[in-house]
Amino acid sequence: MSESTPLAGQVALVTGASRGIGLAIARRLGRMGARVAICACDETRLRAAAEELRRAGTEILAVAADVSRAADVAALVEEVNRAWGDLDILVNNAGTGLFAPLHELGESDWDTILDTNLKGVFLCSKQVAPQMIRRRRGHIINISSLAGKNAMAGGGAYCASKWGLLGMTQCMAEDLRGYGVRVSAVCPGTVQTEFSPHAGKDPQKMLQPEDVAHAVAMIVTQTPQSFISEVSLRPTQKP
């Protein structure tokens, strides 16, 4: 371990890491010396992301998985453990959104959003927490959103998932802090990614994926006696 690679020897898993925020987080953790496992549903994008990270010098493991499926998550964590051992860092980033008035959403739309954004975090954390408890250390970082604090037209299902994620994060933190495991939430505002349309907004003024990665880096390098439970990120100028 050195100042330039403070995570040397540590194992991280970033979900939804084939692009956007997840890929930026994986990139940053790799530069900090961690071995990084990434997952996503789209195998083509996942392979491309893994190749980019390898070229940058990151020791990488890419596993196609749907975090809303318990069997996929169990197989994912088992493969990481088999390759590198127990996890030190879990970043629950996988998410999806569909923005429309709630009464216009179908039941399948609701299920997709809640299963990915909320159930997926439950399934991944449930798999990883026992090994962190056993070792009495670890970070679980849930990528939420300012939409988990603020209502918006057309955001009923998405906001519900992120509001729920913040509540779950706080409860998980209380469940695990006595074991030396810190559970945190990062809540960015609008980030310039492919995730959702940003009509009328200046992309140069929006948050960038690297800004979220910076917040994650700050959390995983905090001093042992401190606990950054939540980070809210906003652009310096309104886009």
Picking from 195, 5, 207, 183, the residue whose alpha carbon sits closest to that of residue 91 is 183
Q: Is 158 an active-site residue?
A: yes
Distance spanning both ends of the chain, measured CA to CA: 39
d(CA 162, CA 141): 14
The answer to whether 13 and 77 are in contact (CB under 8 A) is yes
CB atoms within 10 A of CB 212: 26
d(CA 239, CA 225): 37
The answer to whether 178 and 133 are in contact (CB under 8 A) is no
d(CA 232, CA 209): 14
From 89, 116, 148, 158, the catalytic residue: 158
Give the residues across from 61 on adjacent strands: 37
Type and span of the H or E element at 182:
strand 181-188
The answer to whether 46 and 64 are in contact (CB under 8 A) is yes
The answer to whether 196 and 206 are in contact (CB under 8 A) is no
Question: Which segments of 36-119 does DSSP mark as H helices, in order?
Answer: 43-55, 70-84, 107-114
d(CA 53, CA 23): 9
| Residues annotated catalytic, as ranges | 158
